[in-house]
Homo-oligomer: A and B are copies of this chain.
Amino acid sequence: MAIKKYTIKDIAALSGLSKGTVDRVLHNRGKVSQKALDSINKVLKEIDYQPNIIARSLKKSKAYRICLIVPNAKTDPYWEPCTEGIREAFEEYKSLGVFIETHFYNPNDTSSFTYTCNKVLESIPDAVILPPLFYKQTLQAIHKFHSKKILVATFNDKISSELVECYVGQDLFRSGKIAARLLEAITPKKSELTVIHIDESFNNALHMQEKESGFRSYFKDLKETNISTLHIKQPDMDKTLNNHLSNNHIKGLFITTSKSFMIAQALDRIKRNDVKLIGYDLLKENIMYLKNQKIDFLIHQNPKQQAYLSITHIADYLLFNKQIPSEKLLPIDIINSENVDTYF
């Protein structure tokens, strides 16, 4: 194993040529005689040269700007940890000359999204990273960014477009299956189970559908398990829920969004503690009910890590020309009352 760190200068000395010629060989710039090429290649074969990416990066030294366009956490607390991931990436890269800006918009308002995108577009950053909440508007924005040669990366939700360099997220179908396996494990055999969509805004419809099909696919071959779907809207949550539970023998609920604490609250109010609950995301309220054991499991979508990784992939590409993975699927963490604290 080579301990020595070889430089272009070393190769030049070993081959009896100058660093200029070595450089031409390394980058295939031509203007090199066969003889010189051979002797340099011979040296290269012997020593396993690794260009010093620090020196390379210093030479290219340039300030980069990466803009994140994310929903306001005040409107939907799901996005809160996201900000923390951005902050960590910012701290890590600021001294490397990568400047990260976060632009918030109101997730209940498509025009707020479009407005923010245009504002970012005008400032012409090197890259834009965003979770594609609104399909149509996001595609339009992506095209605009692309036409200005701005890199685009997405996280949390996948959008099909070759103009997106990188997607960081989870396999939602699979996370539905995981929920299914968990509910199966903690409820008696032949239980009736219900998938609940809390449905204030319909933006998240795509996630929900994928999660539900994953959930149902798990039970496909188990005819004994009866699965129903329930759409619940905020005002009459207690009534809808009570109705549903009274008319069936439901033993477990799978809530497809981060709002499972609302169901836990409702169950408290209608005094039904005999139902198992599985939901998503480590919101404060969810964790409270998890520790109470009123929620049995949470599935961790890890928005913080999603934001962090999408930034680092882009930044490492800009700085060190590292390859960007076109798709990075994160592990799907199962959280209960006892391991939740280890994720902070």
The CA of A95 and the CA of B52, in the complex, are separated in Å by: 5
Q: Do A94 and B50 form a contact, CB below 8 Å, given A63-B5, A185-B336, A333-B331?
A: yes
Do the beta carbons of A338 and B58 come within 8 Å of each other?
Answer: no
Contacts of A54 in B (CB 8 A): 54, 57-58, 61, 96
Q: Which of A1-47 contact B (CB under 8 A)?
A: 1-5
Report the minimal beta-carbon distance from A332 to chain B, rounded to whole angstroms.
5
Taking a contact as CB atoms closer than 8 A, the residue among B3, B51, B63, B175 that contacts A99 in the complex is B3
Is A335 interfacial (CB 8 A cutoff)?
A: yes
State how many residues of chain A have any CB contact under 8 Å with chain B.
Answer: 49
Q: Which of A72-80, A176-184, A204-212, A219-227 participates in binding chain B? A: A176-184
Is A65 interfacial (CB 8 A cutoff)?
A: yes
Report the minimal beta-carbon distance from A6 to chain B, rounded to whole angstroms.
10
The CA of A94 and the CA of B53, in the complex, are separated in Å by: 10
Is A296 interfacial (CB 8 A cutoff)?
A: yes
The CA of A58 and the CA of B52, in the complex, are separated in Å by: 9
Q: Do most interface residues of chain A lie in helix, strand or loop, or is the interface mixed?
A: mixed
The CA of A179 and the CA of B266, in the complex, are separated in Å by: 29
Contacts of A338 in B (CB 8 A): 174, 177-178, 180-181, 218
Report the minimal beta-carbon distance from A153 to chain B, rounded to whole angstroms.
20
Report the minimal beta-carbon distance from A136 to chain B, rounded to whole angstroms.
30
Is A337 interfacial (CB 8 A cutoff)?
A: yes
Complex: chain B residue closest to A341, CB-CB? B174
Is A342 interfacial (CB 8 A cutoff)?
A: yes
Report the minimal beta-carbon distance from A190 to chain B, rounded to whole angstroms.
16
The CA of A1 and the CA of B339, in the complex, are separated in Å by: 38
Is A330 interfacial (CB 8 A cutoff)?
A: yes
Contacts of A331 in B (CB 8 A): 333, 339, 342-343
Is A186 interfacial (CB 8 A cutoff)?
A: yes
Is A329 interfacial (CB 8 A cutoff)?
A: yes
The CA of A178 and the CA of B333, in the complex, are separated in Å by: 14
15 A-B pairs whose Cβ atoms sit less than 8 Å apart in the complex:
A2-B99, A3-B65, A3-B99, A50-B94, A51-B95, A174-B342, A181-B337, A181-B338, A185-B185, A185-B336, A329-B342, A331-B342, A333-B334, A334-B334, A334-B336
Given contacts A2-B99, A170-B342, A181-B338, 7 further A-B contacts (CB under 8 A): A5-B97, A171-B342, A174-B341, A178-B338, A181-B337, A186-B186, A334-B339
**What are the nearest 4 A-B pairs in CB distance?**
A334-B334, A178-B338, A50-B95, A181-B338
